[in-house]
Structure 1
Amino acid sequence: MGEGFKFLLDLALILLFANLGGYISRKLKQPAVLGQIIAGLVIGPSVLNIVKETEFISYMAEIGVILLMFIAGLETDIDDLKSSSKSSASVALGGVVFPLLLGFLAVKVMKPQSDITEGLFVGVILTATSVSITVQALREMNRLRTKQGIAVLGAAIIDDVVGIILLTLVVGLINPTSGSGELFFVVGKIIVFFLLSIGLGMVFSKYLTRYKEFLSREDRVLVSALIFCFLAAFFAESLGVAAIIGAYFTGIVFSTTPHRNRVSFEVQKIAYSIFTPVFFVNIGLFVRLDDVGGNIGLTVVIIIAAILGKVIGCGLGAKLSHFNNREALQISIGMIPRAEVALIVTNLGVKIGVITKEVFASIILLVLVSTIITPILLKIAYDDKPQHQTQ
């Protein structure tokens, strides 16, 4: 057997520590996701170094976040999502503009000699929101279907699309040969994705409803759900939109069918027993604390800019949409996390020579800090008081 089967040991250790971390976190009255992320940090290269990030773990983690967003879609009421579209757009706009400006200023203040493109690139990185951490924390607190949770989900979709367009613009500034033609091409692909999602979603919804008796036999409905989910995630990624958005839209399609509750129950059993714990532990595995010591001042300023950008921007957007102060704070906290999207964009910046290693290390610590503090802050913001659940 030897090294060829070490992935089995890695998986066993990840699941063991994920469950242990989640148990301790719940005992401390915090969401389990917090303990799972810290568990990844402990067993990863930064502390014990008994598990390293591998291609196998990365793929398992990717399936985990896709299933998590599919479940979020299943638990979303489409009428609530439509009714919150204006407020979501307002929240997303604030959550893009303020982090972009503060990120740019953070780099210019701390690195005045740096090129303007580095500041712009950091600003774009800070616009990204990793809603999966918030989704899991809100689910554990039974707050996902509140109007605040729905506003966060809608804003995250808009946030992701705007971030892709901004990234294309900045890359176009750095490499003029890509120019406006590529920007129009990217925007066109995004439009095609959403049009296809709406059109095919309506067709699939009718098909799933019409043949509900056939699909209800054996495990056909679960298999159909997973096929649609993975196909939508693949095509979303192929068209320049994050795979998790494709999964989320598939969940919304199934939420309009008679299979909603059964699919949600069965997918949750698969997701929460193996895949989503791997995803959250993998965030901790990715962190390298020894890379962060180079420029702690820059790191602190970028983290502050990232957090304040979302809290101020999204909070103002929520207030303009007539949420009260407490609800606006809950929404803005839910938009704080940065994870896979921020790391992907940062890695691109390093590859094209715009982002320095010290900025890269700062973004890694931002991912760690934002993913750890968000569940804690959400718990404080909701404070275990009864909240209205949308029906």
Structure 2
Amino acid sequence: MLTSDFTLPLHDPILVFLVLLLIVLLIPSLFKRINLPSIIGLIIAGILVGPYGFNILSDDAGMEMFSTIGLMYIMFTAGLELDFNEFVANRNKSLVFGLFTFTLPLLIGYPVCHHILGYAPMPAFLTASMFSTHTLVSYPIVSRMGVSKNQAIAITVGGTIFTDAAVLIILAIIMSANDGALNGEFWAQLIVSLILFSIVVFFFIPKLAKRFFQKVEDDKYSHYIFVLFILFVCGFLAQLGGLEPIIGAFAAGLALNRLIPQSSALMNRIDFFGNALFIPIFLISVGMIVNIKVVLNGWKTLIVALTLTCVALSGKWLAAFFTQKTCNYSTSQRGIIFGLSSSHAAATLAIILVGYQAGILDEYILNGTIILILITCIVSSLVTQKSAKELVMEEKEKGYFTPAALGSFAQEKILVPIANPDNIGYLVDLALLIKDPKSANPVSLLG
């Protein structure tokens, strides 16, 4: 019995979770010592322990569940942390970035796939559409460094929803065309689904959440469970409407954005569980799908992989460059935009897997895409960390964090009296709610 528990790959849930926790515990600290983003370490760890490495863990339903939760959590957090006022004020810039990051990779990718790699129009167009997607794998870096409110990041996150939604709609159109079902009924169903989804998520859910938070104000744990419930309800509704669940997760973050203050205890819980568990396991799962051995299957796989990677990175860099010039951004902001938008993971893999399973794409594109995912995630992490550091220094040089720039917030001091133990919790919650994130002083207790 004991011997069977240690048979590789591990299937005992205790051992599987133990290995995952060990990786999450050790890898970030190790990579911090060598001055590399922990994201790279977690992805590499996933490669090593995955089915194509030492086969310690299998890519089973349990890992798939954690992977799905982690990706949806990243998109949800991105929507939740988005400065809504900044996003609304710069929605045109988000549209500009969304247009660039969608069209440029597509326009570069299609001729390359069709004329250079020699694929027919439909598989070439489907592969090219993959270049337009991006997964915010490196978003935890900017969140941790405290620059997630920067306008360049706001428009990148905002542009993500536009481009991913457009690409996933293209996927649905191509699959319907491949099945011979591209007709008026398909278009009517798609439009109606989008309208109903938007009404439910942006009209009914905020009202429901506001009422829940008012009625159940004492049970703080229920607040977190309710937020998770809303996250997956929105993901399911998006799936029901023919969209990817990650679109629903981002929409859920936007729907709850104004109801969960950035400095609240609930937001701290959301960040804690995401950064400590769900997101790291998602990054490990990304590494587990990478099969380095496919490079040894012949030169064609390597050529296709390098071609796809070059097109993906060049298309995203050009999109960041034109966005910088159009919006008059700095070099570090351009780097942040490129870093965040250059990583390809779940959405990319979903498109290619669906195309492969439908017989539209071949194994060379599939294997090349897996190598592309590894390279772009590494490039994205390195560029994002470097640009985020530059952005922090840039904001300091501009005086965004000086007492003169912060004004009254530099002198803001919040005192919480603790004479009455019965209302300490309420007072601390109120203090965290009204405390401005720019304030240089912590909340103080008055005995």
Separation in structure 2 between the aligned mates of residue 5 and residue 325 of structure 1, nearest angstrom: 48
TM-score normalised by structure 1 residue count: 0.91
Matched with 1:71 is 77
Matching residue within 233, 236, 242 for 1:234: 236
Matched, 1:87 2:89: no
1:209-237 CA distances to partner (integer Å, 9 max, x unpaired)? 643xx323352222222222221222122
The alignment-based identity, stated in percent, is 18
Matched with 1:276 is 279
The answer on whether the counterparts of 1:99 and 1:126 sit within 8 Å (CA) in structure 2 is: yes
Matched, 1:41 2:47: yes
Residues 9 and 178 of structure 1: CA distance in aligned 2, closer, same or farther (over 3 Å)? same
Matched, 1:291 2:294: yes
Matched with 2:198 is 194
Matched with 1:147 is 151
Matching residue within 340, 343, 357 for 2:346: 340
Q: Which moved more, 1:75-84 or 1:279-288?
A: 75-84
Matching residue within 252, 267, 270 for 1:267: 270
The answer on whether the counterparts of 1:319 and 1:325 sit within 8 Å (CA) in structure 2 is: no
Matched with 2:173 is 169
Shift in Å at residue 387 of structure 1? 4.7
1:174-199 CA distances to partner (integer Å, 9 max, x unpaired)? 34333354244224322322232221
Separation in structure 2 between the aligned mates of residue 206 and residue 88 of structure 1, nearest angstrom: 28
5+ residue gaps, structure 2, are 401-436, 439-447
The answer on whether the counterparts of 2:335 and 2:383 sit within 8 Å (CA) in structure 1 is: no
Separation in structure 1 between the aligned mates of residue 261 and residue 338 of structure 2, nearest angstrom: 33
Separation in structure 2 between the aligned mates of residue 358 and residue 76 of structure 1, nearest angstrom: 38
Residues 14 and 229 of structure 1: CA distance in aligned 2, closer, same or farther (over 3 Å)? same
Separation in structure 1 between the aligned mates of residue 261 and residue 100 of structure 2, nearest angstrom: 37
Matching residue within 15, 19, 33 for 2:25: 19
What does residue range 118-133 of structure 1 map to in structure 2 within 5 Å?
Answer: 118-131=123-136, 133=137
The answer on whether the counterparts of 1:22 and 1:34 sit within 8 Å (CA) in structure 2 is: no
3-state SS in 1 of match to 2:259? coil
Matched with 1:365 is 371
Separation in structure 1 between the aligned mates of residue 309 and residue 127 of structure 2, nearest angstrom: 11
Matching residue within 362, 386, 393 for 1:386: 393
Amino acid at match of 2:65: Y
Amino acid at match of 2:292: L
Amino acid at match of 1:115: A
Matched with 2:65 is 59
1:130-186 CA distances to partner (integer Å, 9 max, x unpaired)? 12x121222233222211111111011111111122223333443433335424422
The answer on whether the counterparts of 1:208 and 1:257 sit within 8 Å (CA) in structure 2 is: no
The answer on whether the counterparts of 2:50 and 2:287 sit within 8 Å (CA) in structure 1 is: yes
Provide the alpha-carbon RMSD of the alignment. 2.4
Separation in structure 1 between the aligned mates of residue 183 and residue 210 of structure 2, nearest angstrom: 42
Q: Which moved more, 1:49-58 or 1:252-261?
A: 252-261
Matched with 1:221 is 223
Q: Which moved more, 1:49-58 or 1:64-73?
A: 64-73
Matched with 2:424 is none
Separation in structure 1 between the aligned mates of residue 237 and residue 128 of structure 2, nearest angstrom: 28
